[in-house]
Amino acid sequence: MAIHIKSAEEIDKMRVASRLASEVLQMIEPHVQAGITTQALNDICHEYIVNTQGAIPAPLNYRGFPRSICTTLNHQVCHGIPGERVLKANDILNIDITVIKDGFHGDTSKMFHIGKPTIKAVRLVDLTYQAMKIGIEAVRPGITLGDIGHQIQSFVEQNHCSVVREYCGHGIGKAFHEEPQVLHYGQPNSGETLVPGMTFTIEPMVNAGKRHVRLLPDQWTVVTKDHSLSAQWEHTILVTDSGYEVLTRRPEETFSYDA
């Protein structure tokens, strides 16, 4: 199976699906407060995606996933299932949104602090954002996937945190997860070379402690083995002729487009 290079028409559809995913994160922000359950956040997002956006929440029934979004808290790493857990002060929460519009997927996630965050949590969340940003800003035709992974890993490890290895970014398009795998660690000058028209996610999971993870008995929720805090951010990226476009960029975000 080869990496699918998107046509101009497909890129336009990726732009739309990605913008919708980013708009769900903007819509949900004021609701992310102490006292609300993750199930309620799921229900608000589901309703908005289906009825306002006329789109499909990709996680729902994906390989049996039972909800429309992922909500991942504190020492959880990814794929948290919304439920009756009530958000409280000092929690950190990742909300991961993937929508399907006109047959194409847009996938993005961000971290939220509940109440007044601890210094440790702020440091981890900011470091993880920087790690994602370093990966994104490296993207241009001619570099390799290994170059991206290496830059992310070096930055994270210089800051005495660790990169989760079991989960990675991915090609995205008509399929939720397609080739290539985008590892957040690796060696420079290795792996696939980027070419214009590729679309993939960059979504590093960074642990404050050791990199090892464990799967909970619900068969979805991934947690850190050492119970240390974990954070993740995600964007869907297009490789352009001269650099990249962050298809899921929110208005408050800036990237040094080398374009």
Choose between 92 and 172: whose C-beta lies nearer to ligand MF3. 172
Residues 19, 46, 79, 150: which binds ligand MF3 (CB under 6 A)? 79
Taking CA atoms, 258 is separated from 170, 195, 201, 242, 244, in Å, by 22, 15, 18, 7, 8
Tell me: does residue 13 bind ligand MF3 (CB under 6 A): no
Q: Output the smallest distance, CB 70 to ligand MF3, in A.
A: 5
Choose between 26 and 242: whose C-beta lies nearer to Co ion. 26
Burial 2-21 (b: 16+ CB within 10 A, else e): ebbebeeebbebbbbbbbbb
Binding window for ligand MF3 (CB under 6 A); candidates: 14-22, 48-56, 61-69, 125-133: 61-69
Decide: helix, strand or coil at residue 82: coil
**Whole-number Å distance between alpha carbons of 131 and 204:** 7
Tell me: does residue 105 bind ligand MF3 (CB under 6 A): no
Tell me: does residue 180 bind ligand MF3 (CB under 6 A): no
∠ CA 184-185-187, rounded to 5°? 135
Total residues binding ligand MF3 (CB under 6 A): 12
Residues 17, 45, 49, 70: which binds ligand MF3 (CB under 6 A)? 70
Peptide bond connecting 180 to the previous residue in cis, omega within 30 degrees of 0: yes
CA dihedral 182, 164, 223, 137 (to 10 degrees): -60
Backbone angles phi, psi at 126, to 5 degrees: -70, -40
Residues 93-122, one symbol each (x = binds Co ion by CB under 5 A, - = not), give ---x----------x---------------
Out of ligand MF3, Co ion, none, which partner does residue 59 contact, by CB within 5 to 8 A per kind? ligand MF3
Tell me: does residue 94 bind ligand MF3 (CB under 6 A): no
Residues 23, 42, 59, 228: which binds ligand MF3 (CB under 6 A)? 59
Q: Output the smallest distance, CB 200 to Co ion, in A.
A: 9
Question: Do residues 17 and 99 lie in contact, with contact meaning Cβ atoms separated by under 8 Å?
Answer: yes
Helix residue spans in the chain (DSSP H): 8-28, 38-47, 119-137, 145-158
Q: Output the smallest distance, CB 10 to ligand MF3, in A.
A: 19
Taking CA atoms, 82 is separated from 69, 197, 206, in Å, by 7, 34, 21
Chain residues binding Co ion by CB under 5 A are 96, 107, 201, 234
Q: Catalog residues that contact ligand MF3 under the rule CB under 6 A.
A: 59, 62-63, 65, 70, 79, 96, 98, 107, 201, 203, 234
